[in-house]
Structure 1
């Protein structure tokens, strides 16, 4: 039973005074999901917008991925099957 689908993803970045915000929207054709991410530059750090873009976009994509997995888990639950949920790994590094 072959299946082919095309989903569209749009990523929006907004930067203002050391804070970069990202919004990513997944359009499956029948539904849409949105993920968000934020990165804050330390005022003492050099202003490199690409780094803020990368962090905020990565965090938005991670948020979207989690929302997509959660939607799949709800769909599985709705079919009466059980879902094994795992806790996300501990993340270190730049603050959110």
Structure 2
């Protein structure tokens, strides 16, 4: 039987002049909560494009989240197998 599982990531942005910060939260079914952050800094001579700053900051936050998820999965594999996990991203 096929099981469908879904995760929802909450993403918020803070704009401060030419700086954009993205904060994301992922609540996993095992009760773990992962928080990740990313930022984007607009070069002063670039045009103000809020959406682009959000996209860059979000991508960096998701990359941070990717690292955390791989570390969590690796730790769980090592706990179960008592051998080093070698996860390739």
Q: TM-score, normalised by structure 2?
A: 0.85
Cα distance in structure 1, aligned partners of 2:76 and 2:43: 41
Which moved further from structure 2: 23-32 or 57-66?
Answer: 23-32
Q: 1:29-81 CA deviation, whole Å, 9 max, x = no partner?
A: 41110111000001111111111000000000111011001100111111213
1:1-96 equivalence runs, <5 A: 3-29=3-29, 30-79=31-80, 80-86=82-88
The two structures, once aligned, show a CA RMSD in angstroms of: 1.8
Cα distance in structure 2, aligned partners of 1:2 and 1:73: 25
Comparing both structures, which one devotes a greater share of its residues to helix?
Answer: 2
Regions of 4+ moved over 2 Å:
1-8
CA contact (8 A) 2:70 2:87 kept: no
Q: 1:1-47 CA deviation, whole Å, 9 max, x = no partner?
A: 85543322100111111000001110114111011100000111111
Provide structure 2 residue ranges, at least 5 long, that are not aligned to the other structure. Answer: none
Corresponding residue pairs, total: 87
Q: TM-score, normalised by structure 1?
A: 0.80
